A = this chain, B = another copy of it.
Amino acid sequence: MIQTVILGNGNLGTHLCQAFEKSKHINLLQNYNRKGKLIHNCTVPVTSNISKIAMAEVYILAFNDSALYELSAFKNLDGLVVHTSGATSLEVLNSFANYGVFYPVQSFKANVPVIFTEVPIAIEANSAVSEKILVHLARAISNKVSVINSSQRKALHLAAVFANNFSNFMYTQALDICIKNNINFDVIKPLISATITKLENTTPDKLQTGPAIRNDKKTINEHLILLENEAQNKLYHQLTKAIQDYYGKEL
């Protein structure tokens, strides 16, 4: 049983407390949060007093990224101290003797249940011993644990911007077009979820379809004429060109 304290009661802190409490391999000793609030659906003791934080093997800082640069109040934590941020350097914790990163690659909402066994957790640590403890801890709640280095974690965060933020913006454009044309966006949703289903068995580069990759100039021109919104028109043009450049077609 790994003796653990979780600091923070935001979306991630809450979900981690719930998952850790259920695990047979983890002993969740305590949650620290500034207001001393109890954790929803969790019996873990809570403190708001930094000097009363329990002695533990691992301290998980489930704080906002910005809070990770102001850790002086926690300097006396004596154990393996880890943060949970994809974008923050490991070295932000180098004032501690043992430190690491425990990065669940997922976005969390407090009230939406999470199946943690399916959440990838990327581990990084300042030593082989710390790494081993963190892998052990991560495997207690997830079946998808990997050890990555700092440059991989940065790349992973960058890949997530494309896969999550940029793709979501594409859905927003589709929504916009639907609203303007009095089409229910629900008509589009099955197309989106079908892509996800297909990704289970293949890679996205093999799933590319549409007028750009077909170099279907007739449809592309019709679409550019339809797109009266200047920003959207430009985006369509840029993305069509990017797809054609990627797949080696001429616009």
Which A residues fall within an 8 A CB radius of B?
A: 87, 105-107, 109, 112, 118-120, 122, 144, 146, 148, 151-152, 154-156, 158-178, 180-200, 203-205, 207-213, 219, 222-223, 226-227, 231, 234-236, 238-239, 242-243, 245-246
Contact = CB atoms under 8 A, between A and B. Distances in A.
A226 B159 CA distance: 11
The 6 closest A-B pairs by CB, nearest first: A165-B210, A171-B204, A163-B174, A155-B181, A167-B167, A159-B174
B87 A154 contact: no
Given A227-B158, A245-B231, A175 B193 contact: no
A75 to B, nearest CB: 25
18 contacts: A87-B219, A144-B187, A154-B222, A155-B226, A160-B174, A163-B170, A163-B174, A163-B188, A163-B192, A166-B243, A167-B192, A168-B204, A171-B195, A171-B204, A193-B196, A234-B242, A235-B242, A238-B238
Contacts of A181: 151-152, 155-156, 159
B171 A156 contact: no
A198 B113 CA distance: 12
A190 B158 contact: no
A170 B171 CA distance: 12
Contact of A226 (B158, B192, B205): B158
A156 B172 contact: no
